[in-house]
Amino acid sequence: MCMANKISFLDDLNPSQQAAVAYNGGPSLVIAGAGSGKTRVLTYKIAYLLQSGIPAHTILALTFTNKAAREMKERIAGLVGYQTARYLWMGTFHSIFRRMLQAEADKLGYTHGFSIYDTPDSKSLVKSIIKEKQLDTKVYTVGAVLGRISSAKNNLISPRAYSQNPDLQKYDYQQRMSRMGELYAEYVRRCKQANAMDFDDLLYNTNLLFRDYPEVLRKYQEMFNYILVDEYQDTNFAQYLIIKKLAEKHQCICVVGDDAQSIYSFRGANIQNILRFQETYPDSRVFKLEQNYRSTQNIVDAANSIIAANKAQIPKHVFSEKEKGELIHLSSCFTDQEEASLVGQNIAQLHRRKDIAYNQIAVLYRTNSQSRVLEDSMRKYGIPYRIYGGQAFYQRKEIKDALAYLRLVVNIQDNEALKRIINVPARGIGETTIAKLEESARLHETGIWDVLGDPLKYNVAINSGTAGKLDAFRKLICGFQEMHSTLDAYELTESIIKLSGLAADAMKDKSNEGLSRYDNLQELLNSVHEFTERQLRDGIEQITLEDFLGEVALITDQDEDNGTEEKVTLMTIHASKGLEFNTVFIVGMEEGLFPSSFSETVSEIEEERRLFYVAVTRAEERCYISFAKSRFRNGKTNFSTASRFISDIDDRYLDDTPHKQHNLSGNRFFRDDLEAHQWWGNSGTDESVVPASPQRKTVKVGTSYLKTDEKQTVQHPDFPEGCTVRHGVFGIGTVIRCYRENDSDKIEVDFADKGKKHLLLKFARLERID
DNA sequence: TGACCGCGTCTTTTT
DNA sequence: GACGCGGTCA
């Protein structure tokens, strides 16, 4: 790349962005207000570093999601060329340090193939421990125990330190959980024995590694010439320390964040990390990005008026030079259903009358459970939509089962994986037997697999029939282990799906659900294939099953591509962080829901307020806020009042729909309910797009709308019937049809070599070639 | 052992 | 509304 190029891309930035990008004199903190081009600055900064000759493999960039990393890498490649950007260390904290830990696993007493316990695995283990210790499960709830363990790890408190800490002991005593320290120690011990790390361990153990192996720390310190961290306001102590350690030598670190958007304290994030950056790095410089390029003035000003109610923050003034734009639309409804209906109506109107693309519209809510009614409404009004935070592909039962087989083959000590699949598909090994095995393993301080190898030696009281079944299972797994040494990841996965009986089990089930299970297993195979290809592309030569499992464990549905599909997005506000939409609907603005009834202290309320701020600032041109006086929650109807946050918004930025006649500040019920239907202010009713009056009772048949039994054929613009496509694994084929089933778009393709296949459209990565 | 039913409980946000 | 648990029956 030539110098002219370098200058030209700095020209794309405003002066404060330029300053932040070009500064290279030591640690820097970029306070990036909402919509101020934060990603742009990071992208350009990395491109700039690459152009000034810093090799890609010496730059570490930590992002909040894998998707963000992928997209940023692509953009950088667009600026400096793929070859230059190829070897960047870019990913989430969890995925980057998983890789590092994998390379150094033996130092910490793990093997290369260590498992990663996801939340259900951790829960299952905690449950076993609570049971074994015969503690009161009402006091020692799995969630509470795991929460305590997690925050201990996030704050780098070892089990020993935990038991010796008087404050923690006092707290636990007050919570009637005096044996918490003991549970923590046992949990850690058992994870270790299973050669498994949970999510928090990935950070905790990285710190251990750096603390106990100075030469390892030194190696990475020297390796990374430059460290960049995105969303720094959402880092926790463990992450803070990792960064601090790594940056110690070169002091070349740039963190980007916005204290006003810190919304992850429940996960241990500590807003102090960003507030005290200058104390940590005394020679640092601060850059502020205050011009918002995303939203209209009204939206920015309204958001400012919201956040002004918080005390703890870095002073800044976010402004917009776009047009004033529409006021924020506020509306009150009787019920959650009515609220959902009105959102649906309004989306239909915006789409038809203002030509707003569906994928430029998002509906945001506080909790996932709110998606239900909205989904119902989207269907009612025929609006294409997509929900984030539903069941991600890798969370599906059949996928997790298959992955558990793989996990066990790679790490035979993985007790949670073993327990999961020992009787899947059903082979007559029941709860009682598993409990016996587990108990025996615990008494002998060994893994279940060892007990399985010689039940007699470990005094497991089982009859000969059961012993036979156990042995058959053991042989099955041993067979897979042997294959592991000769087959590649793809072939092994294929064999396991077949020989374990998972495929046959799914096939046996002739219902749609069974078929879809089978398709999903096929899709898993595809993803193994895609993974290996992607790794090859990124210059990684040796691709192992271990790598695949490690990556997969850290994939979330946030990482899925939303693609270019014309669909309205439904997601939690948390999930919307970093995204932007032309029009945003924020629903459920009620006391007890938003702010959540869990938030009591001032700082908790402030975090909820920041969350509201995040929600509003997602909008470019239009923002609709609504609340319902009654809401069906937890199986019953609850009544509530408008959120206090609504009254934080300066009246100037709100349209004068009925709310102004209501007394919001008193949080009372509104009096003139009759006007509530005529919300959204400016536009009258558009009878042409409203298929049913929202007040009319809709006939709802159970929850069947979630599991449509019929396969509804749909037209897909990219893949019309009869077109020719190429698939990474199956080769060339002809499209038979596209259809919707169980809420996902599928495609049926007749492949020349492999015959007819049903594929999930969003995962299949088909390439049209005719 | 496994499928099924009814009961009680909990319910935020996620790597 | 969803899920886990305990009990019952084949």
Burial A278-292 (b: 16+ CB within 10 A, else e): eebbeebbebbbebb
Task: Give the pairing of strands A226-229 and A253-257.
Answer: parallel
User: What is the Cα–Cα distance from A387 to A369, expressed in whole angstroms?
Assistant: 11
Q: What is the DSSP letter of A326?
A: P
Per-residue pLDDT at A134 exceeds 70 = yes
**What per-residue confidence (pLDDT) applies to A728?**
66
Local confidence band at A288 (pLDDT 50, 70, 90 cut-offs)? very high
Nucleotide nearest to A702 (CA to C1'): C1
- Protein CA A105 to sugar C1' C10 (Å): 50
Supply A764's token pair.
């299949």
Q: What is the DSSP letter of A225?
A: S
Q: Which nucleotides of B are covered by protein (CB under 7 A)?
A: 1-3, 9-15
CA A70 to chain centre: 14
What kind and span of H or E run contains A267?
none
* Structure confidence by residue, pLDDT tens digits, A570-623: 999 998 998 999 999 999 999 999 999 888 888 889 999 999 999 999 999 999
**What per-residue confidence (pLDDT) applies to A740?**
65
Per-residue pLDDT at A758 exceeds 90 = no
In the predicted model, what is the mean pLDDT of residues A520-524?
88
Residues of chain A above pLDDT 70, percent: 86
Residues of chain A above pLDDT 90, percent: 50
A176 is catalytic: no
**What per-residue confidence (pLDDT) applies to A223?**
94
Local confidence band at A7 (pLDDT 50, 70, 90 cut-offs)? low
Supply A281's token pair.
């790095």
**What per-residue confidence (pLDDT) applies to A383?**
93
Nucleotide nearest to A429 (CA to C1'): B1
- Protein CA A633 to sugar C1' B11 (Å): 9
Local confidence band at A47 (pLDDT 50, 70, 90 cut-offs)? very high
A230 is catalytic: yes
* Structure confidence by residue, pLDDT tens digits, A183-233: 999 999 999 999 999 999 999 999 999 999 999 999 999 999 999 999 999
User: What is the Cα–Cα distance from A562 to A399, expressed in whole angstroms?
Assistant: 21
DSSP secondary structure string for all residues of A450-519: HHHH-TTTTT----HHHHHHHHHHHHHHHHHHHHHHHS-HHHHHHHHHHHTSHHHHHHH--SHHHHHHHH
Which residue type does A194 have?
A
Backbone phi and psi for residue A38, each to the nearest 5 degrees, phi listed first: -60, -50
| A634 in contact with nucleic chain C (CB within 7 A) | yes
In the predicted model, what is the mean pLDDT of residues A342-362?
94
* C-beta pairs of A105-110 under 8 Å, 24+ apart in sequence: A107/A209, A107/A212, A107/A213, A107/A216, A108/A205, A108/A208, A108/A209, A109/A192, A110/A192, A110/A195, A110/A197
* Structure confidence by residue, pLDDT tens digits, A545-578: 898 999 888 887 666 666 567 899 999 999 899 8
| A576 in contact with nucleic chain B (CB within 7 A) | no
A38 is catalytic: yes
DSSP secondary structure string for all residues of A336-350: HHHHHHHHHHHHHHH
Backbone phi and psi for residue A254, each to the nearest 5 degrees, phi listed first: -135, 120
Total-model pTM: 0.84
Local confidence band at A1 (pLDDT 50, 70, 90 cut-offs)? very low
Per-residue pLDDT at A752 exceeds 80 = no
Per-residue pLDDT at A702 exceeds 60 = no
A577 is catalytic: no
Compute chain A's Rg from CA coordinates.
27
**What per-residue confidence (pLDDT) applies to A92?**
93
| A632 in contact with nucleic chain C (CB within 7 A) | yes
Are A628 and A339 in contact, with CB atoms under 8 Å apart?
yes
In the predicted model, what is the mean pLDDT of residues A647-666?
66
Per-residue pLDDT at A706 exceeds 70 = no
In the predicted model, what is the mean pLDDT of residues A320-340?
93
Q: Which residue has the higher pLDDT, A43 or A136?
A: A43
* Structure confidence by residue, pLDDT tens digits, A247-267: 999 999 999 999 999 999 888
Window A685-704, strand C contacts by Cβ < 7 Å: 703
- Protein CA A579 to sugar C1' B4 (Å): 45
| A92 in contact with nucleic chain B (CB within 7 A) | yes
**What per-residue confidence (pLDDT) applies to A663?**
40
Q: What does pLDDT average to over chain A?
A: 84
Cis, peptide link before residue A166, omega less than 30° from 0: no
Supply A770's token pair.
């005719």
**What per-residue confidence (pLDDT) applies to A697?**
24
In the predicted model, what is the mean pLDDT of residues A375-389?
89
